[in-house]
Every structure is written in C-alpha cells, then in structure tokens.
Amino acid sequence: MLRQTFALLNRLLPTEDGSAHCDIPCGIYDPHYALLAALSVVRMNQLIAALEPPAMEKAARDDYMHKIARYTATKDEHAELVKHEVRIIVGDFFKADNTPSDLFDLVNGIMKGASKARQNIDLAAAEELLGLVNRFAEAFWKAKGVETKRQPSNQAAGGEYVVPAN
C-alpha cells in the first residue's frame, strides 16, 4: 500500500534533477578553478601549434588527427569551465555591497573571450582569456579584503596567475 502511494505521488508530483556548486550557500568560493582552466586553454593551443603535419602514411595521420581531436576537445571543455566557474562566483558570491563597478564588463569579456577561445585555435585569444580571468581573480580577492600577488604558474603553459598574497 505504501509503495503504491509513493508511486502515485511520483506520477502526480514528478521530481526534477538539479545540480549546483552549492546553493546552500556554502560560502566557499575561489577563482582557482577558472584560472587553471584558462591555463589549460593556453596549453592546448600551444600543443596544437607544436604538432607537425603528418606524412601521408595512415598511422602517422591517425595519430595526428587523434591528438588534434583530443587537444581541441580539452581546450573547448576548459574554456567552458572558465565560464561556468565565473558564473558561479558572480551569481553566488558578489552582492550589491561587494561588486566592483566594472564587474559586468569584465565578466562579459571573459564570456566572449572563452567563446572566442573555443571557436578558434588562437594562442593570443587564450592568453587574453587568462589575463581577464586574472583580473577577475584580483577583483574577487579584493572584494574579500585579501591582498593578491601574481606568481608564475609553474605549469607547462607558462604564464602567471593571481593568488592571495599571504
């Protein structure tokens, strides 16, 4: 009888799947994932640029095409991850009392820059995206009252990223 009651309730009031970073809100926000994702976009562009066009033999051509596909997919996924992480911080962390005046323009630049990085193999666009995400990280930490510094990423992509100074 109980099972039938729940079955009827499920048909009358179906549930919807949901997902979130955390809509509790948990209060744990950090632009670190967006920075790492932007560095990955830079690195994938570097790896693609470093590939040598293959000879006409099938094995070499297959290897080349496999690498291009994997690097491009990873580049695109990480550009989208930049957008995702920035949207979470903007939507859940920034409020009227801590939002920088240029936040809209900065976030708009990140969204458009991430899209541009997905649309092309363009190292300059990827580096510009990293620069914008670094500016976003500085704005985020400033809103929390935390001093920042830029430090070398120590990653194969090179570059630098913003971290708390202390």
Q: What is d(CA 53, CA 61) in angstroms, rounded to the nearest whole number?
A: 8
CB 110 within 8 A of CB 82: yes
d(CA 45, CA 120): 9
pLDDT at residue 124 tops 90: yes
* Model confidence, pTM: 0.84
Average pLDDT over residues 37-54: 96
What is the predicted pLDDT for the residue at 75? 98
pLDDT of 16: 63
What are the structural domains, with CATH classification, of the chain? 30-164 (1.20.120.400)
Quote the pLDDT of residue 54. Answer: 85
Does 77 score more than 70 pLDDT?
yes
Across 101-117, average pLDDT: 97
Mean pLDDT to the nearest integer, 53-80:
94
pLDDT band at 26 (very low <50, low <70, confident <90, very high): confident
Average pLDDT, the chain: 91
